[in-house]
Amino acid sequence: MVKMTSREIITLLPYSKPFLFVDDIESINEDGVTGSFTFNPELEFYQGHFKDHPITPGVILTETMAQIGLVSLGIFLLSAEEHTFKGQVVMTSTNVEFLRPVFPGDKVTVISEKIYFRFNKLKCKITMQNQAGDKVCYGELAGMFIKNING
């Protein structure tokens, strides 16, 4: 198995700022990944969600869970087989429960456990925690990794 650094994995993610929600990957192996992201108070979506009392939208929390807990792990698993990943990732299912708000400036940690990875489909149990270690949201996410025909 080829060992990849967290920086190599983040570079392979199919996102860039302002839609990249991964700062660091603390640990990753065949069974799961742990990573983090800090929500910059200057992110544009805070201007309208909600007036005078901004919180991070649930869809952005779900996206952060997916980028760290699903896509980063999938790239790691596929790269171990093929030494690189060139392709697209398509979300196939989400089931997320939200427990606490995430505010501008908050740092979150995402912990993902692989449920299965077969036929390029990855399904994971994912939890997000705030700086205090409180569970913010949790659920199961799944996605397909589609290889580029021209890549």
Q: What does the pLDDT look like over 4-47, one tens digit per residue?
A: 888 999 999 999 999 999 999 999 999 999 999 999 999 999 99
Q: Give the C-alpha separation, 10 to 32, whole Å.
A: 15
How many domains, in total, are found in the chain? 1
Count how many residues are written for the chain. Answer: 151
Residue 136 lies in a domain: yes
**pLDDT of amino acid 4:** 80
Q: Give the C-alpha separation, 38 to 46, whole Å.
A: 14
Write down the pTM of the prediction. Answer: 0.93
Number of alpha carbons in the 13 Å side-chain half-sphere of residue 37: 28
User: Cis peptide leading into 18, omega within 30 of 0?
Assistant: yes
Q: What is the DSSP letter of 23?
A: S
What CATH number did the domain enclosing 18 receive? 3.10.129.10
Return the H-helix or E-strand segment holding 89. Answer: strand 87-98
In this predicted model, what pLDDT tens digit does every residue of 88-143 receive, in sequence order? 889 999 999 999 999 999 999 999 999 999 999 999 999 999 999 999 999 999 99
Q: Which domain holds residue 22?
A: 6-147
Residue 126 lies in a domain: yes
Residue 1 lies in a domain: no
Number of alpha carbons in the 13 Å side-chain half-sphere of residue 137: 23
Q: Please identify every residue annotated as catalytic.
A: 49
